[in-house]
Structure 1
Amino acid sequence: MKTPIAQGRRIGFDYGEKRIGVATSDSESILVSPHATINNDADLSLKIGEILNDVQPIYIVIGNPKHLSGADSSKSDEAASFAALVRSLYEGPIYLVDERLSTQVSYAQMREAGKSARDSKSVIDQIAAVNILETALLNEKSNTSIGTRF
């Protein structure tokens, strides 16, 4: 028997060296929507804090870019550093979610929609964040691990 999932909004982040895609769920976890793309710059902590204050999530997921073999990549270390920053701003649960190929899937989704990925880099980051959060919600709804607890 499935356990009902907790009510409350969730946030997904797709970390990148230049930009970070942000997605949020509704409080019933039915819809996941693009929320923002934020620049990875000196104001990052402030921007993340504003989003957390606005959304009030019950948990956060951050994409963990692993190798196809499943091993952590050098980008995994960067995602973990970003997770540490988020941890300094948020006391609730944070999960690292396998995001292998999420950006490539996002580019394919843009092409299928007839959009130019080159002209929509900030949208790509948001779509990748949506895919990461949707993966976490599917895991949660099927009573499997949301991701690796950070």
Structure 2
Amino acid sequence: MRIMGLDVGSKTVGVAISDALGWTAQGIETVKINEQQEDFGIARLGELIKQYEVTEIVVGYPKNMNNSIGPRAEASERFAALLEEVYSIPVVLWDERLTTMAAEKMLISADVSRKNRKKVIDKMAATMILQGYLDFKK
């Protein structure tokens, strides 16, 4: 019984998975997507859902700082609805304000090069989203 965390961007989706007990989150992959061609990586996510026996999905919900909903949050809502429809798994939208910025700062403080930060930032943000959700559930 694992939970999947997703950081949905316009070009990639960062993916994290909880351990079997739901205590910790680990980043596992970044899936490339193409919004213009309506390729949202659903097939690859389905493979991961099956592989890790996912029973719940947490999608980052990038609200504006004033708590309003902008275009990226609306995209996350549509993405969450699509996942729920395709895989019949409960999907939770989780407030992710500033997680990507926090992930970036953490990587900078760890002296990770800009090139390497680009490769892992979405996966790390997904891990932070999922860990926040796991901590909340406890």
What TM-score results when the alignment is normalised by the length of structure 1?
0.84
RMSD of aligned C-alpha atoms? 1.3
Gaps of 5+ in 1: 1-7, 142-150
SS in 2 for 1:92: coil
2:106 match: 109
What TM-score results when the alignment is normalised by the length of structure 2?
0.91
- 4+ runs deviating over 4 angstroms: none
1:15 match: 8
Deviates more, 1:125-134 or 1:82-91: 82-91
Gaps of 5+ in 2: none
Distance, in Å, in 2 between the alignment partners of 1:69 and 1:118 is: 32
2:24–2:134 Cα contact (<8 Å) kept = no
Amino acid at match of 1:130: T
**How much identity, in percent, do the aligned residues show?**
31
1:63 match: 60
Residue pairs, 1:1-150, within 5 angstroms = 8-41=1-34, 42=39, 44-141=41-138
SS in 2 for 1:33: strand
Amino acid at match of 1:62: V
SS in 2 for 1:58: strand
Q: How many corresponding residue pairs?
A: 134
C-alpha change, 1:110 and 1:55, in structure 2 (3 Å) is: same
